[in-house]
């Protein structure tokens, strides 16, 4: 029955990616008025490039966790089946 969650999880993953981009742009706009630099932006400091990458990574991870958790809770509510592990693995 958990296989039914796979297509649901794929759709949730796409939504999380789109949402994460929006959240990152909003967060970055509070940090700097320019677009976030990439690793190949010539006139940006190491600090700004690494800071932008760190903010982007954290934003993506948190947004993905929120959306995936909400999707799993919704799937559980609809079907009564939890799509993942019931408790963390030890060790």
Tell me the whole-structure pTM to 2 decimals: 0.79
Torsion region of 36: left, alpha or beta (phi above 0 gives left; psi -120 to 50 gives alpha): beta
pLDDT above 80 for 1 = no
Cα 73 to Cα 2, 3, 61, 86, distances in angstroms: 13, 16, 18, 12
Query: pLDDT band for position 72 (50/70/90)?
Result: very high
Stretch 60-73: mean pLDDT, rounded?
93
**Rounded distance between C-alpha atoms, residue 13 and residue 7, angstroms:** 10
Query: pLDDT band for position 14 (50/70/90)?
Result: very high
């Amino acid at each position: 029955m958990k296989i039914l969650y796979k297509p649901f999880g794929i759709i949730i993953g796409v939504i999380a990616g789109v949402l994460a981009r929006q959240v990152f742009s909003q967060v970055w706009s509070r940090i700097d008025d320019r677009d976030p630099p990439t690793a190949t932006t010539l006139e940006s400091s190491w600090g700004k490039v690494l800071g932008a990458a760190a903010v982007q990574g954290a934003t993506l991870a948190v947004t993905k966790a929120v959306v995936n958790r909400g999707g799993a809770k919704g799937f559980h509510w609809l079907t009564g089946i939890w799509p993942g592990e019931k408790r963390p693995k030890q060790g």
